[in-house]
Amino acid sequence: MVSDIEKIRLDIFVSSKCKISRSEAKRMIETGSVEVNGKKSRCAYKLKKGDVISILPYERPVQDLEPEPIDLDIIYEDDDILVINKPPGMVVHPAPGNPRGTLVNAILNHCRINATSSSCTDLRPGIVHRLDKGTSGLMVVAKNITAQGLLSAQFKNRKVKKVYLTLVAGSSKESSGTFDTLIGRHPKDRKRMSVGTNRGKRAVTHWEVVKRFGADLMLVKVSIETGRTHQIRVHFSSHGMPVVGDTVYGRRWKGRIRDKEYLKILEGVTRPLLHAYSIGFTHPRTGKEMSFCQEPPSDFKEILERLEEKGGQVL
């Protein structure tokens, strides 16, 4: 909410707040990544008292990206694709607040890709889908423009099979189900997503309980037909079962767990316990069906082991 900076140009304000150059702030505004009172605006717009400025997810132009020597956990690699196990905490694409240390920077280095070459398309060299910063697990990455186009088409046409594991706080009498709602930008907080918005897009999430821990914790297997931003986290939160560790959509997730011993086990959780467990797709060159699985990382596995020691009911 703008109050004491009236008559400052929008691009100057964005540059100062995001700690970026004015030219990059200009690009953000022109591409619609900055909204004033919920609408796209101009760089020269002068702020007024009461204006609400929203900074939406923004992808830096390819020419701004730099290769960085970052280790990758590579599950599979050939001339066309990489399948990697993304660690929790790694951002996929550079953005304000996370300009370095991203998966894209690592890919540019590993594949020796020039960010302005024909090997890159759009603003996402190699990237055909995403995982949130706090989410761990499997991703497929394209190593050339042909593979990128064919893999992107598979995602667009919902041909890629993705399965996640997540620990949720809450319970359901059902052992499985489907969430089928619209998901769109939150009307008051443009950085968040929400269900029930008229401008949203259809989001379909299938889920199945793998194990129950007491009355208020469930390990759930999730498959998604669509890939909306924060889809799994939004869906489970909106149905009273927020993902453990999710401080954006489940700020009060601890309040849903009544057993103090379980709460003690979870007290050190610092990120959403959501893991991309498996992925299946058609190889873009050979046409072969590819499928990969990866167990959750150590922080997630350790919590599950401690919960199981206390007792869990396998379904």
**Domain chopping of the chain, boundaries:** 2-55, 74-157, 161-314
Q: Is the pTM of this model over 0.95?
A: no
The residues near 183 (Cβ < 8 Å, ≥ 6 apart) are: 193, 194, 195, 197, 200, 201, 203, 228, 229, 230, 231, 234, 235
Q: What is the pLDDT of residue 100?
A: 84
For residues 60 and 68, the answer to whether their CB atoms sit within 8 Å is no
What CATH code is assigned to 161-314? 3.30.2350.10
Q: What is the pLDDT of residue 310?
A: 85
Q: Per residue in 172-194, pLDDT tens?
A: 999 999 999 999 888 777 678 99
* 132 catalytically annotated: yes
Polymer length in residues for the chain: 315
**What superfamily in CATH does domain 74-157 come from?**
Pseudouridine synthase (3.30.2350.10)
Parallel, antiparallel, or unpaired: how do β-strands 313-314 and 201-213 relate? antiparallel
Check if CATH label 3.40.640.10 holds for domain 2-55: no
In this structure, what token pair is assigned to residue 18?
Answer: 């995001």
Taking 70 as the pLDDT cut, the residues of the chain under it are 1-5, 58-64, 96-97, 113-124, 190, 197, 312-315
Domains 74-157 and 161-314 share a fold: yes
Q: What is the pLDDT of residue 121?
A: 44
Q: What is the pLDDT of residue 46?
A: 92
For residues 105 and 132, the answer to whether their CB atoms sit within 8 Å is no
Q: CB pairs under 8 A, 24+ apart, for 39-43?
A: 41/10, 42/10, 43/9, 43/10, 43/11
For residues 274 and 243, the answer to whether their CB atoms sit within 8 Å is yes
Q: What is the pLDDT of residue 59?
A: 63
Which position among 11, 51, 132, 216 bears the catalytic label?
132
- Compute, in degrees rounded to 10, the torsion defined by CA atoms 282, 230, 104, 10: 140
| Cα separation, 213 vs 225, whole angstroms | 27
Q: What is the pLDDT of residue 78?
A: 96
